[in-house]
Structure 1
Amino acid sequence: MRILVSVSPGEVRTALLRGDRLDEAWIERPARPDGVGDLHRARVTALAPAMAGAFLVLTGGETGFLPESEASATRQPIARSVQEGLVLPVRVTRAPQGGKGARLTARLTPAEQARAAAAPPGNAPLLLARGPDAALRLARAHPAAELVTDGAGLAARLRGTYSPRPVFDEAVEAEFDALASPEVPLPGGGRILIHPTPALTALDVDAGSAAGARDPEAQRRVNEAAVAEAARQIRLRQLAGPILLDLAGMTAKRRAALAEPLAQALAPDRLARLLGLGPLGLFEILRQRIHPPLHEVLAGPLTPGLAALRQAVREAASRPSRRLALVAAPAVLAALETFPGALGEASEAIGQLLQLRPDPARPWSHWTIEEAPHGG
């Protein structure tokens, strides 16, 4: 088992590999962390007995929700645990979602309580400590795994092995690129189409050529492969909430026979639970949300912009004397210019300022790194 951590301007990508197989994938933007695990001093702004909880204001004015089950060890009604205006230390247990604030807990470890007690005095909301990033979480969960990173500072912090070359090879890069696509090819033919919506995520299995094959077992083999791959994609993409899996064809009885293989495929994922086969013939899965799903992280023009910076750094390393320009859609360049630190990190890694050239005719994904003329 290996943990590979790729550090690039504005972004850290972390892969957990079992052998050569990608088992977990994380994409983080340190300038805008998801906040999970952060320790705050927060102030109660409103009790919500009908919702069995209270709203608290965090550092920067963000709002979080404290369920009454997390307000105290005795789990008493929220009005007996906290009062409006009360200041108390809390930890973020779930990232914000769908316009709702972060989920909080006041049930802290002794170490967290000690850190909160050592904070500067005052009643203003205060960020006391950042939560662990993906690399640290994986290192703690798999202490025997080798950790290799191309970020010197991160290698020192995590006591990992530093690599002067990019730690992601072409295969890992391709797998991370594929996580941005809604289509997952299946071995032997067929595919899974992934459709996230605000309410749920639908996974649709397309049998492809097997749908019309004369071999009656061809469709079964596609669905068996789809069951295993669906469980893997749910974990890799951090899909959360209600998830519906629609297999290709098959009678209800034959679909039901795949319930046990699906449950076994989901078993290593402690956040996922198979609810069963619903009346419409769809497998119903519920997965707890903690971190944002990858499709939320990757949405918008910032993602192609950060990919372009990563490529610019690589091209500069291969030919240090070149002056480089990023040609991209205005929205991509605007996203980079408003994202803290990314352009500065890229220019530092390149050794000179990266020129930005807007091209309104380009879609977001069609950026290029070009050689800039001297004096341009």
Structure 2
Amino acid sequence: MAEALTILASVSPGEVRVALLRGDRLEEAWIDRPARPDGVGDLHRARVTALAPAMAGAFLAMAGGETGFLPESEAGPVRQPIAQSVQEGLVLPVRVTRAPQGGKGARVTARLTSAEQARAAAAPPGNAPLLLARGPDAALRLARAHPRAEIVTDGAGLAARLRATYSPRPVFDEALEAEFDALAGPEVPLPGGGRILVHPTPALTALDVDAGSAAGARDPEAQRRVNEAAVVEAARQIRLRHLAGPILLDLAGMARKRREALAEPLARALAPDRLARLLGLGPLGLFEILRQRIHPPLHEVLAGPLTPGLSALRMAVREAAARPGRRLALVAAPAVLAALEALPGALEEAAAAIGQPVQLRPDPLRSWARWTIEEAGHGG
């Protein structure tokens, strides 16, 4: 009997974290910041600004000064040279199919559904780029992908929108909180010992298996067992972290012949991920994986001082719920506080949940991670 699927959506100031659980095992992890959506699924009225035949596509001006790229394969019902599909100055509706990355604009398609075409036709007249509709957020995407899954959220507004079960208590328990926190870090412990180290770079992501104590164990099969666990967990971490582009997996030790024996288990572990493809074992003895990018990887979402700031607001709301009436202050590095102030709505949502604003106290001597929630009126 298949294990039940559950979607948990944890709503906090400036952020919505969404988990898909199969039984009690985390299958997918998403972090949305509604004030800064990644744009995937957005419907735009855009204007062609330049044809790029050498790149087999065209550049588009989009709402908010953003740039999009329309591949010639997505410019019309039949693929043909881009100059035969669009011309400079043409205004057309498009949908974002891939989030921007590395300074490059979003990837878009002009192949729209009839509902999208009708929505574009009903837009106000004009030739200026215009955002016509936002794409679905993570909770809605998961709900559509898994219509039989139970959906539980601690956000009243989200519960009403998704027709989900509302929980007055936080839906993430300590174990799930810890698992989400771990997705921001480079180290993944393996059952039975050993670990995977995750090293993202602009060009590729390297996954390095460290056998730990098994590397020097007398049991010749100890290293094999670590690597067998590693290929399964590596596939899971690739999916959970939304890693994309070229991915190299370096197993711990083992001759090439023994590594080749793990190609089939790795392919099987990757199979449920429709975006990932195992290319094979390369000449350097590294497994080569290619995963299509649609949404930004979690290491991009979680980079910078905003992430600890939102964690602090989440903690402040919980402390206020446990001990109502206290006036709270957040003491943190100036960069953390500046990031919160720059995120529309986050501090206002925290104030609404707590019943009064959170005081912000900059401490230039603190690192980003060393924030504290204190009672207002006391030193930090």
| Bin of the TM-score, shorter chain as denominator length | over 0.9
Counterparts of 1:54 and 1:373, CA distance in 2: 57
Residue number among 2, 17, 21 corresponding to 1:17 in the alignment: 21
Match of 2:300, SS state, is: helix
Deviation at 1:373, TM superposition (A): 2.2
Matches within 5 A, 1:195-234: 195-234=199-238
Q: Which residue of 1 aligns with 2:181?
A: 177
Counterparts of 1:59 and 1:164, CA distance in 2: 38
Q: Which residue of 1 aligns with 2:144?
A: 140
Match of 2:93, SS state, is: strand
1:85 aligns with 2:78: no
1:118 aligns with 2:122: yes
Residue number among 27, 30, 50 corresponding to 1:26 in the alignment: 30
1:278 aligns with 2:282: yes
Counterparts of 1:373 and 1:257, CA distance in 2: 63
Tell me how large the CA RMSD over aligned residues is. 1.1
Residue number among 249, 259, 263 corresponding to 1:245 in the alignment: 249
For residues 200-226 of structure 1, the C-alpha deviation after alignment (integer angstroms, 9 at most, x for no partner) is: 000000000000000000000000000
Counterparts of 1:76 and 1:193, CA distance in 2: 44
Match of 2:220, SS state, is: coil
Deviation at 1:26, TM superposition (A): 0.2
Counterparts of 2:80 and 2:234, CA distance in 1: 40
1:311 aligns with 2:327: no
Deviation at 1:331, TM superposition (A): 0.6
Counterparts of 1:200 and 1:372, CA distance in 2: 45
Counterparts of 1:337 and 1:118, CA distance in 2: 36
Deviation at 1:73, TM superposition (A): 0.6
What stretches of structure 1 of length at least 5 have no aligned partner?
none
Deviation at 1:372, TM superposition (A): 1.1
1:188 aligns with 2:207: no
Q: Which residue of 2 aligns with 1:155?
A: 159
Match of 2:136, SS state, is: coil
Residue number among 51, 54, 65 corresponding to 1:50 in the alignment: 54
Counterparts of 2:119 and 2:343, CA distance in 1: 30
Aligned residue pairs total 376
Counterparts of 2:15 and 2:301, CA distance in 1: 11
1:356 aligns with 2:353: no
Q: Which residue of 2 aligns with 1:258?
A: 262
Match of 2:278, SS state, is: strand
Deviation at 1:321, TM superposition (A): 1.6
Deviation at 1:346, TM superposition (A): 0.5
Counterparts of 1:359 and 1:182, CA distance in 2: 27
TM-score after normalising by structure 1: 0.99
Stretch deviating more after TM superposition (364-373 or 229-238):
364-373
Stretch deviating more after TM superposition (277-286 or 117-126):
117-126
For residues 135-194 of structure 1, the C-alpha deviation after alignment (integer angstroms, 9 at most, x for no partner) is: 011001100000000111111111111111101011110100000110000000000000
Counterparts of 2:343 and 2:159, CA distance in 1: 24
Deviation at 1:61, TM superposition (A): 1.1
Q: Which residue of 1 aligns with 2:305?
A: 301
Q: Which residue of 1 aligns with 2:78?
A: 74
Deviating above 6 A after TM superposition, structure 1's stretches of 4 or more consecutive aligned residues are none
* Residue identity matched to 1:228: V
Match of 1:335, SS state, is: helix
Counterparts of 2:96 and 2:26, CA distance in 1: 28
Deviation at 1:76, TM superposition (A): 1.1
Residue number among 340, 344, 348 corresponding to 1:344 in the alignment: 348
Counterparts of 1:61 and 1:333, CA distance in 2: 27
TM-score after normalising by structure 2: 0.98
What stretches of structure 2 of length at least 5 have no aligned partner?
none
1:324 aligns with 2:328: yes
Deviation at 1:256, TM superposition (A): 0.2
Match of 1:360, SS state, is: coil
Matches within 5 A, 1:95-134: 95-134=99-138
* Residue identity matched to 1:161: T
Counterparts of 1:135 and 1:345, CA distance in 2: 19
Counterparts of 2:369 and 2:193, CA distance in 1: 27
> Alignment identity in percent?
89
* Residue identity matched to 1:256: E
Counterparts of 2:357 and 2:56, CA distance in 1: 53
